Structure 1
Amino acid sequence: MSKFEKPRKRQKPASTYGFALHCCITRAVRAVPAFAAGAPGILVLITPPGKTTFDYVKPITTALHGSEVDYLGRDLGFMCITSRDRPAKSIGEFETECRDKHRAIVIAESREIVPTVISLAADAVIDIPPITPKDLQAACRCVLKIEATEAQAAEALSYPEVMLWSALRVGRPMDDTLRRLKEATEAENNAVNSRDRSTNVTRLEDMHGYGQAKDWGLQLATDLAQWRDGKLDWSDVDKGLLLSGPPGVGKTQFARSLAATCDCHFIASSLGQWQAKGHLGDLLKAMRADFDAARQNAPAIIFLDELDSIGDRESFTHEHASYSVQVVNALLECIDGIAGREGVIVVGATNNPDRIDPALRRAGRLDKHVTIGMPDEEERVAILRHHLGGSAPSADLELLGPQMEGMSGADIEQLARHARRIARRERRAVTVDDLRANLPCLIPVEGFYRQTVSVHEAGHVIAADEIGYGEFVGVYVARQLNPRIQEHQAGAAGFRYEPISFRDRQSYLDEICTNLAGMAAEHIVFGRHGDGSGVGSDNDLRRATELAFRIEANFGMGDGLRFVDVSSDGNSGRWDRQLTQKVDQVLKAEFERAKNILSNERPLLEALSKELQEIGLVSAERFQELRRKFRPPKETALAS
């Protein structure tokens, strides 16, 4: 009897799952009797479909060494090959870890990814068999000290693995385990079916405020219908979407509505849900179980919430970096695994798209990125009308549009829910007063503050127009601010830019000048400026300063060509006194330039700011009218 077939008691795997996998490895190695008996050699083992190399590491190394170890020693070799590994990397690792070892095992996710060099060196390439009822019987008897019939073991293996290995416990009778599995599966299926079939799930075509995301979803529904009819290849269907936006804009609701419109099975999950299953191995099993469920129920949409919590491998520097890297790698494997399998769409959601590993956004994964913004006035009214379901006069709801400024879709849904509760309690229909009772007391933008905001935004518009930086699309000043919003935006000027263009030092200086023009306008009109240019996470001064640092330190557009790290987490760049002095000089020069431009355009500045103060909105067309009225054409001015 070889050591692969009957390990000594001290070598017995500590878990039921590990013991079952050990049985599978033993059967695979028996295909080469000499190796199984301890003779020298090299084997390549191929994991079953849906399994990864990670699960088999400990059973194989235990079998090679004869006991559980972290280091195999000089004479034993082991390595893994995954679908992500380049052939050159695998060959190099094989040369180092396996070629000259007395005994070695290579484990790979498929035969296709094993380099020919390794296949030629191996004594055999063998498929690892799946876990059988007999394997489970042996694992229950040896690890859990319980007996199970072959029929019971077969029934247990019919349940998702992540549930099975959790339900099996020391001393728990198999009848009790099967009862628990049946009840849990029925409860989970009922919950999923209830969510999927609920009449409360609004179809995407009836949703408001989703912009490009809605357009993408409706196109996906059309493509899936053609795919079902055999009129479109799966390769032509978009398979991944990344949604970003502030909390409350309805990213989860979008995914549910998308599934309803596409008539797809819906699975919602997150890193937090996977982590709740237990240690790293349990987390990875739960992750793979969700993707397996999506494949088994295709067409399906799997929604991954708070995707940024997965992290970016380049930023992992803490003591748990290995854990985090394995999580990211496993997710990439799951997404890549469904790329060639039909009927599964992956939708990820995040509030911080910059914190997502770039590999997740590569082609074939979540390569389509759409940002969902806060709804505008018309969309806010439409969302409220939808949630009220016609229980309030439609015309009266229009009056609430401005009062809901700054509210997300979730805020508006809550507003409607509170109003319906008031109406139910008094046994009557919902009224506008019920809605107003739950609206926040908005802060009016008026008086001298409104005047300063109007002058500030007018300065941005006029300076950009004079310089020729960007295409102006419109400017507004808000009527009121919502106190629930942490970062208020009392006004903004919008410009459209070319996505890709040649940029030299002057183009960056023009952008800095435009950013500083709001503050410059305040100086011209009031002789001083307020704090508006430095408030918020993306303020004028921050943008201008970042650009000045890049000119002087990153782009070789300053006095020297040396690159200096001036990122927010850079070690020294921003503390270089000589560099900061150059940045200050750039900012002061462009601030004076902006003041000179606006001083020469004082009549236009006053006219534009006055219209903004009174009306609150000036379009690009209206600005052209004001410019023709208060600024003579340059050719005429030169001729005179």
Structure 2
Amino acid sequence: MAISTINAKMASSVETFALYRTFERALEQCNDFKLGGPGIVGLVTPEGKAAEDYKACAVAFLYEGVERDDWDNVGYACISATDKPDHVKSEFAGKCWRRNRAIVITETRNLPLLVSVAVDKFIELDTIGEDDLRVACAYVLKLKMTAKQARQLLAFPPDLMFAAIRRNSTAADAIRRLNSVSPTSPAVKPIEESLPRLEELHGYGDAKEWGLQLAKDLAAWKAGILKWSEVDRGLLLSGPPGVGKTIFARALAETCEVNFVATSVVQWQAKGHLGDLLKAMRAEFASAVNKAPCILLLDELDSIGDRNTFTGEHASYSIQIVNALLEALDGSVKRDGLVVIGATNFPGKIDAAIRRPGRLDRHVVIGMPSSADRVAIIGQMLGEHELTDLHTLGPLTEAMAGADLAQMVRDAKKRARREDRRVTLSDLTSQLPELIQITGYYRHTVAIHEAGHTVVGNALGLGMFVGVTVVNQLNPRFELQSAGGARFEFPALHIRNEQRFRDEICLRLAGIAAERLILGSHGDGCGLGPTSDLAIATDLALQMETKTGMGARLYQFGKGTAWDAFGAQSVPWLMDRVDEILRREMARAGDIVAAQRSLLLAVTKELEDTGFVLPDRFDHLRKEFEKGPSVAPIKRVRDPGRRASGTSQGDSRSRSSKEAQR
């Protein structure tokens, strides 16, 4: 399925092309959907834009590259702010509801409940920005303009601006015509927002620390105190969508008091064929060097690709792009004063040569903001709307990125403006889903599961027990999340032989064993997601059989991970061997929890009542129920003829992934 298709309709209009960029950018917040996954996404138009304006964008995104036989599986609906509720429901039911992939483009969030609950996520569409206008003009009209000219054009009403931008004309001509339309009227001048400095940002961790040090080094270089060779000249910045990688780069430029240039492979591709693309890339680097000291941001760097993965007839094309970028990063001409930052959501897809010394050799990850950072971000975005009790939003906004928080604050301000008042805390909390309380039988089940990990981990003496918890609530925004966890810490370096592998598997399966012992069966949480107990236990068993020589064969399979290299279909005996290891360790975990049933139930009750058990409390409970050494339950189980060998580092942190209610 094509996920980023520019069809003839897109290329026929500067406005449509620019809108499509904002359309795709919004869908980056639903990456699975953008990559072709199922779902219903709601896109809320910016003020002054009609839903129908984005119709061509929806058609290009959903239908281009899709076989005509599959068109019935996709759909879209355009909702006007003036549409009656019955019309909205009818439009949605007919065009979106039973489709595998659908987009609802709406001018309002005030929709019938039937529509609101069916949409997986609502996303605010951005207004057309200067980069959108520049790329659209370059692609559609082959018209080049500076960032300053783009800002000047965007200051005019959109209909007049797009009417003035014509083929075989220049941006300067368009600006002159617009200024001459009504010379007596003052030019439209939007309110300019001051760009934040890095010191003012929250939630950037190591990236902020690196940036502040760079600012000091650049100041020393400008003063002639530091050689350019001693300054960090390249950074790979990674993190999930919405954490603010571009904002970081702009804020860094403000703090360093240097020029800022942002570009991407998409912009280079808009210039035309391969020769034009390479010319645009070199021109962008040359422009940034001429503006030095300057920070050059290469956005979506993973779209460059990795030469080791290129195959087929287009491999040569892609390899030439990577080679040209490497040449630009090396600087065939002197590039003192130029710092290059590559931003990506997928650092693993970056060619290794790009990350070598002298290029983008530093790698900093921007993670999701902490609870305290989220509160600070909200407070900063509220500006003059100071609120007390903002700290209560910390746990309520768990797993929300900076972009999500910004949208929440914008919506809160919009709601307050409509009612001509200041923002209140309820304007913010009203946009958040009510948290699901972990109580009753569900809490009892989670407590049993985590108590099983705790009892078995301590019986095996596997690592240092740090504590076990059961959370009080889950967030319905997330399909999979942790409802509890038993935590064990290990030394940085330790022997990981066959027995160690088996102990880790036994610990991973202990939650299932405890549920089976007390409840008669286990829930599906043990196997949901790639980091679930069963998934990790299976992978450990696969490593034993295919990687470490601790299984039925001595030789090593493949070069990638066990499942990547082989599946049960191609190696029939492998599935049986992995299952045998898992069943043996499940039986051993069952023996341990059965022998220490009283302790298991005591830890379960404590978790249900308080939500946590710390090491001292566990030791106290164990002494109450200990009646002698538990030799049989922790008996090492080995297969005949297997060797115990090999070293590795491992993490045995236990998590119970539970599916959130929707």
TM-score w.r.t. length of structure 2: 0.62
Write the distance in 1 (CA, Å) between the matches of 2:278 and 2:375. Answer: 43
- Pick the aligned partner of 1:226 from 202, 220, 229: 220
Write the distance in 2 (CA, Å) between the matches of 1:597 and 1:629. Answer: 19
Q: Contact 2:243–2:367 (CA<8 Å) still a contact in 1?
A: yes
1:252 counterpart = 2:243: no
Shift of 1:596: 3.3
Name the residue aligned to 1:281: 275
How do 1:114-193 and structure 2 match up within 5 A?
180=170
Shift of 1:532: 0.9
Name the residue aligned to 2:74: none
Q: Secondary structure at the match of 1:298?
A: coil
Higher-RCO chain (CA-CA 8 Å, sequence separation at least 6): 2
Name the residue aligned to 1:579: 574
1:431 counterpart = 2:389: no
Name the residue aligned to 2:537: 544
Q: Contact 1:406–1:481 (CA<8 Å) still a contact in 2?
A: no
Cα gap change, 1:589/1:372 in structure 2, threshold over 3 Å: closer, same or farther?
Answer: farther
Write the distance in 2 (CA, Å) between the matches of 1:249 and 1:574. Answer: 40
How do 1:371-390 and structure 2 match up within 5 A?
371-390=365-384
Q: Contact 1:514–1:594 (CA<8 Å) still a contact in 2?
A: yes
Cα gap change, 1:550/1:167 in structure 2, threshold over 3 Å: closer, same or farther?
Answer: same
Name the residue aligned to 2:443: 450
Q: Contact 1:457–1:493 (CA<8 Å) still a contact in 2?
A: yes
- Pick the aligned partner of 2:549 from 544, 556, 567: 556
* Per-residue deviation, residues 572-598 of structure 1 (Å, max 9, x unmatched): 676311122111111122222333344
Shift of 1:415: 0.7
Gaps of 5+ in 2: 1-137, 145-165, 177-190, 632-662
Cα gap change, 1:473/1:281 in structure 2, threshold over 3 Å: closer, same or farther?
Answer: farther
Cα gap change, 1:402/1:182 in structure 2, threshold over 3 Å: closer, same or farther?
Answer: same
Q: Contact 2:529–2:535 (CA<8 Å) still a contact in 1?
A: no
Name the residue aligned to 2:329: 335
Give the partner amino acid of 1:297.
K
Write the distance in 2 (CA, Å) between the matches of 1:338 and 1:412. Answer: 43
Shift of 1:430: 0.6
Write the distance in 1 (CA, Å) between the matches of 2:368 and 2:210. Answer: 18
How do 1:409-428 and structure 2 match up within 5 A?
409-428=402-421
Q: Which structure has greater helix proportion?
A: 1
Write the distance in 1 (CA, Å) between the matches of 2:605 and 2:239. Answer: 33
Q: Secondary structure at the match of 1:322?
A: helix
Name the residue aligned to 2:591: 596
Shift of 1:303: 1.9
1:623 counterpart = 2:614: yes
Shift of 1:231: 2.8
Of structures 1 and 2, the larger Rg is shown by 1
Shift of 1:501: 5.3
Write the distance in 2 (CA, Å) between the matches of 1:201 and 1:210. Answer: 16
Q: Contact 1:377–1:401 (CA<8 Å) still a contact in 2?
A: yes
Write the distance in 1 (CA, Å) between the matches of 2:586 and 2:279. Answer: 58
Q: Contact 1:392–1:429 (CA<8 Å) still a contact in 2?
A: no
Percent identity over paired residues = 50
* Per-residue deviation, residues 445-487 of structure 1 (Å, max 9, x unmatched): 3332233233333433444444454555555444333333343
Write the distance in 1 (CA, Å) between the matches of 2:214 and 2:466. Answer: 31
1:516 counterpart = 2:509: yes
Write the distance in 2 (CA, Å) between the matches of 1:473 and 1:184. Answer: 67
Name the residue aligned to 2:293: 299
Write the distance in 2 (CA, Å) between the matches of 1:390 and 1:615. Answer: 40
Q: Secondary structure at the match of 2:321?
A: helix
Write the distance in 2 (CA, Å) between the matches of 1:474 and 1:364. Answer: 44
Q: Secondary structure at the match of 1:489?
A: strand
Give the partner amino acid of 1:250.
G
Write the distance in 2 (CA, Å) between the matches of 1:178 and 1:633. Answer: 88
* Per-residue deviation, residues 217-275 of structure 1 (Å, max 9, x unmatched): 22222222222233333333222222332222222222222222222322222222221
Shift of 1:418: 0.7
Q: Contact 1:242–1:370 (CA<8 Å) still a contact in 2?
A: yes
Q: Contact 2:197–2:255 (CA<8 Å) still a contact in 1?
A: yes
Write the distance in 2 (CA, Å) between the matches of 1:277 and 1:440. Answer: 44
- Pick the aligned partner of 2:342 from 341, 348, 353: 348
Give the partner amino acid of 1:222.
K
Q: Contact 2:474–2:483 (CA<8 Å) still a contact in 1?
A: yes
Shift of 1:291: 1.8
Cα gap change, 1:582/1:274 in structure 2, threshold over 3 Å: closer, same or farther?
Answer: same
Q: Contact 1:604–1:627 (CA<8 Å) still a contact in 2?
A: no
Name the residue aligned to 1:5: none
Q: Contact 1:554–1:564 (CA<8 Å) still a contact in 2?
A: yes
Give the partner amino acid of 1:433.
S
Cα gap change, 1:535/1:357 in structure 2, threshold over 3 Å: closer, same or farther?
Answer: same
Paired positions, count = 456
Write the distance in 2 (CA, Å) between the matches of 1:386 and 1:470. Answer: 42
Write the distance in 2 (CA, Å) between the matches of 1:557 and 1:326. Answer: 44
Name the residue aligned to 1:98: none
1:481 counterpart = 2:474: yes
Write the distance in 1 (CA, Å) between the matches of 2:375 and 2:541. Answer: 42
Give the partner amino acid of 1:576.
V
Root mean square deviation of aligned Cα: 3.6
Give the partner amino acid of 1:295.
V
Name the residue aligned to 2:133: none
How do 1:459-478 and structure 2 match up within 5 A?
459-470=452-463, 475-478=468-471
Cα gap change, 1:582/1:639 in structure 2, threshold over 3 Å: closer, same or farther?
Answer: closer
Q: Contact 1:374–1:408 (CA<8 Å) still a contact in 2?
A: yes
Cα gap change, 1:406/1:492 in structure 2, threshold over 3 Å: closer, same or farther?
Answer: farther
Cα gap change, 1:330/1:433 in structure 2, threshold over 3 Å: closer, same or farther?
Answer: same
Write the distance in 2 (CA, Å) between the matches of 1:222 and 1:474. Answer: 42
Write the distance in 2 (CA, Å) between the matches of 1:225 and 1:608. Answer: 58
Cα gap change, 1:357/1:420 in structure 2, threshold over 3 Å: closer, same or farther?
Answer: same
Shift of 1:179: 7.8
Q: Secondary structure at the match of 2:342?
A: strand
Write the distance in 1 (CA, Å) between the matches of 2:604 and 2:333. Answer: 54
1:311 counterpart = 2:302: no
Cα gap change, 1:605/1:392 in structure 2, threshold over 3 Å: closer, same or farther?
Answer: farther
Write the distance in 2 (CA, Å) between the matches of 1:215 and 1:634. Answer: 50
* Per-residue deviation, residues 107-166 of structure 1 (Å, max 9, x unmatched): xxxxxxxxxxxxxxxxxxxxxxxxxxxxxxxxxxxxxxxxxxxxxxxxxxxxxxx99x96
Q: Contact 1:204–1:261 (CA<8 Å) still a contact in 2?
A: yes
Write the distance in 2 (CA, Å) between the matches of 1:339 and 1:555. Answer: 48
Cα gap change, 1:639/1:615 in structure 2, threshold over 3 Å: closer, same or farther?
Answer: closer
Cα gap change, 1:579/1:354 in structure 2, threshold over 3 Å: closer, same or farther?
Answer: same
Q: Secondary structure at the match of 1:241?
A: strand
Q: Secondary structure at the match of 2:482?
A: coil
Q: Contact 1:470–1:497 (CA<8 Å) still a contact in 2?
A: yes
Q: Secondary structure at the match of 1:483?
A: coil
Q: Contact 1:247–1:351 (CA<8 Å) still a contact in 2?
A: yes
Cα gap change, 1:181/1:515 in structure 2, threshold over 3 Å: closer, same or farther?
Answer: same
* Per-residue deviation, residues 364-405 of structure 1 (Å, max 9, x unmatched): 3333323332223222211111111141323x2222222222
Q: Contact 1:406–1:482 (CA<8 Å) still a contact in 2?
A: no
Cα gap change, 1:630/1:262 in structure 2, threshold over 3 Å: closer, same or farther?
Answer: same
Write the distance in 1 (CA, Å) between the matches of 2:328 and 2:488. Answer: 40
Q: Secondary structure at the match of 1:532?
A: helix
Q: Secondary structure at the match of 1:406?
A: coil
Q: Secondary structure at the match of 1:575?
A: coil
TM-score w.r.t. length of structure 1: 0.64
